[in-house]
Structure 1
Amino acid sequence: MSAPTDPWALLDAASTVVAVHAHPDDESLSTGALLAALTAAGTRVVLVTATRGEEGEIVPGALGADESRPLEEIREAEIDRAVAALGLTERHWLGIAPALAPGAAPRRYRDSGMQWVREGLAGPSDTAGPESFSLQPLEGEVADLHALLEAVRPDVVLGYDDEGTYGHPDHVRAHHVAVGAAERAGIPLLQVASGTPDDPRTRWREHPGTAEAVQRAVDSYRTQLTVRGRRADGIAIRHVGGQDDLVALRTGLHMPPGAP
């Protein structure tokens, strides 16, 4: 019997899913409604995040004048609150066991930051160094994620498509890491769509009943965004840079190119 070509058929049949994300807040902004729906349905969801978002800007006034913690510690606390709101109970950092290649010393992947190289093409920031996620050796990152997949043995890996949602270099790298590790482990990879709503590869699904969980999750990231209110189709937010956006309560998924 051939494998299903509808990504939702694979996901509906999965009892365990590993979700691969680049920074704290990506899990809520890109897949919050989906993850909340999965956990509410009893699916085991294991989140792995590559970086701690050290290069993120901070919303003015989000931190008190006496705040002395480095940004990465603050964002660790934010992601803990967010995943609790979504119903997740298992999360890991890439490079820290169990998301660490056998025999390797623990390693920390740093946020690469982002700048626009030209219209439509993003690259690492000028301050990105060799420890940045997008600039470290791909093979080691794939080996780390593969170790987690071997430990968890999910039915499905959930990752970005080749556009990496909006082209952030860490998102694009997370896509390549997920592709390599899933292929090595022999586990199907489902990709969260970045493209237009009418992309023929994409199958869409609404996630009713997830608005409250998603709003609480995104509101956990007060250093990064401001919640503007709830709409019928999602949570209105304003990013730290002033851009208005909508955290949708639906998800588009597609199979990777060449999947059966």
Structure 2
Amino acid sequence: MSSSQRTIVSLHAHPDDEASKGAATIAKYVAQGVRAVLVTATGGEEGEFLNPAFKGRDPRELPELRMKELARSAEIIGYHEVELLGFRDSGMPGSEANNQPACFAAVPLEDAVRPVVAILRRERPQVMISYGQRQDSYPHPDHLRVYEVAKAARDLANDPQFAPELGAVHRVEKWYWSLWVRSRFEALGRAMAAKGIELPFRMAERAGDDDLVTTRIDVSATIGVGRAALLAHETQVDPSSPFWFALSPEELASIYPYEEYHLVDAPIGYQETDLFQGIGG
């Protein structure tokens, strides 16, 4: 990639994470000419058929179906490229899948980091987005590992002593964590309550990352993209779900038209409205 090409690399754990976390942000920047690369760590093999329309389907079909859904979702969002790391889904905390030696959370960290370093050195992004260090409310092993891999890969991509065969060193200028912002879900909860819909308990009670917010992106023009991308994962969502789909994109934009992030190493009190703020070119 040319050093003048504005580029974002997003790291996610499973197919459908890219749809439920930051899809509108990526769509907004793609519309501005930014190159967007999606890195998906696992195939989501431990998922289930969550859409009643798939009742009775053979579970062995799921991995192939999820790859097709991922491709559709990425196209809807606008990603220019999808990189599959090819690790196995680790399953929920405490599940038998955690013991699979090939699962993402169990492989040696360097084995998971090397392909991400290669991607960063090839794509040369100014911005990288991953999950953050604080994951107490949803400690999925694969989400925790995404944070560990992102942290290590960012450092090692700029280390000339590490794996020179993976390409010329590159410094990712800005590393962001996607956040679970409680004020957003409280606003959505009030709008849903007005329609007689209650938030699921685990979401209603989940602690927020509001104190970590450094970056608030106005996604009012692209907020419907996440909905469309999520619907592309048809094995994983019930299209009649009141939680995901009760509010129209227009309603969402009027209630809370933002997606929020934490800029790693930002000074205390730092606030911005653009992922590329402070980056030249």
Q: Structure 1-normalised TM-score?
A: 0.74
1:56 aligns with 2:47: yes
For each residue in 1:101-126, what CA deviation from the matched residue of structure 2 results, as whole angstroms up to 9, or x when unmatched?
Answer: xxxxxxx3100110xxxxxxxx2522
Q: Is the 8 A contact 2:212 2:262 kept in 1?
A: no
Please state if 1:229 is matched with 2:246.
yes
The aligned residue for residue 262 of structure 2 is 254
5 Å matches for 1:16-27? 16-27=7-18
1:214 paired residue among 204, 217, 226: 226
Match of 2:140 in 1: 168
Question: C-alpha deviations, 1:113-141, integer Å up to 9, x for none?
Answer: 10xxxxxxxx2522331111011111111
Identity %: 33
How far apart are 1:62 and its partner, in Å?
3.1
Q: What value does the CA root-mean-square deviation take over the aligned residues?
A: 2.5
What corresponds to 1:9 in structure 2? none
1:73 matched to which residue of 2?
A: 64
Aligned to 2:96: 126
The structural deviation recorded for 1:67 is 6.2
SS in 1 for 2:54: coil
Instruction: Check conservation: 1:124, 1:169, Cα contact below 8 A.
Output: no
Q: Tell me, which stretches of 5 or more residues in structure 2 are unaligned?
A: 158-170, 182-207, 240-244, 269-281
Deviation at 1:215, TM superposition (A): 1.8
CA contact (8 A) 1:79 1:221 kept: yes
Q: Higher strand share goes to which structure? A: 1
Q: Which has the larger radius of gyration?
A: 2
1:203 is aligned to 2:215 = yes
Distance 1:14 1:249 in 2: 27
Matched with 1:244 is none
Q: What is the identity, as a one-letter code, of the residue corresponding to 2:260?
A: G
Q: Is 2:26 the partner of 1:40?
A: no
CA distance in 2, matches of 1:38, 1:169: 29
Are 1:192 and 2:178 matched, yes or no? yes
Q: Which segments of structure 1 move beyond 6 Å, counting only runs of 4 or more?
A: none
Q: Deviations over 1:30-57 (max 9, x none)?
A: 1111111111111100001000100012
Q: CA deviation at 1:191?
A: 1.3
Task: Name the CA distance, whole Å, in 1 between partners of 2:133 and 2:88.
Answer: 21
Provide the C-alpha distance between the structure 2 equivalents of 1:126 and 1:69, rounded to a whole number of angstroms. 17
The answer to whether the Cα contact below 8 Å between 1:161 and 1:194 also exists between their aligned partners in 2 is no
Per the TM alignment, residue 60 of structure 1 is displaced from its structure 2 partner at its CA by 4.7
Pairwise CA distance, 1:89: 2.5
1:55, 1:111 within 8 Å by CA — same for their partners in 2?
yes
Unaligned segments of structure 1, at least 5 residues: 1-12, 95-107, 115-122, 235-247
Normalised to the residue count of structure 2, the TM-score between the two structures is 0.69
